[in-house]
């Protein structure tokens, strides 16, 4: 059985995610991932936060290539969250 997080805990995780998303180490990813997180931050629930944390654990160089479409996202990393961030980064309205 999974317990829902309390609102203060959820808010802490949201703030932490925003920081991680905007301080990736590369300016390109800071803007792309940080932009997605800023836009969706208020609506991220526990499951979305967990999915986003998994994306943020991926290497910056790979993320940059996938987000702008230089390389396709390998199937094993093609989570709905990463696909949504890619769509957002490319200006697609699927997100």
Q: How confident is the model at residue 92 (pLDDT cuts 50, 70, 90)?
A: confident
37 located within any domain = yes
4 located within any domain = no
What span, in angstroms and rounded, lies between the C-alpha atoms of 6 and 83? 28
95 located within any domain = no
1 located within any domain = no
What span, in angstroms and rounded, lies between the C-alpha atoms of 93 and 86? 11
Q: How many structural domains are present in the chain?
A: 1
pLDDT tens digits for 19-58?
Answer: 999 998 889 999 999 999 999 999 989 999 999 999 999 9
In the predicted model, what is the mean pLDDT of the chain?
90
Asked if residue 93 has pLDDT above 80, the reply is no
25 located within any domain = yes
Report the pLDDT value the prediction gives residue 32, as an integer from 0 to 100. Answer: 94
45 located within any domain = yes
CATH at 18:
1.10.150.250
Write out the residue range of the structural domain in which residue 55 sits: 9-89
Asked if residue 7 has pLDDT above 60, the reply is yes
3 located within any domain = no
Asked if residue 8 has pLDDT above 90, the reply is no
């Amino acid at each position: 059985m999974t317990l829902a997080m309390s609102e203060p805990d959820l808010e802490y995780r949201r703030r932490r995610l925003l920081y991680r998303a905007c301080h990736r180490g590369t300016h390109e990813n800071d803007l792309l991932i940080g932009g997605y997180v800023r836009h969706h931050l208020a609506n991220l629930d526990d499951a979305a936060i967990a999915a986003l944390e998994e994306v943020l654990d991926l290497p910056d160089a790979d993320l940059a290539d996938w987000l702008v479409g230089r390389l396709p996202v390998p199937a094993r990393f093609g989570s709905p969250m990463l696909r949504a961030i890619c769509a957002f980064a490319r200006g697609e309205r699927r997100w």
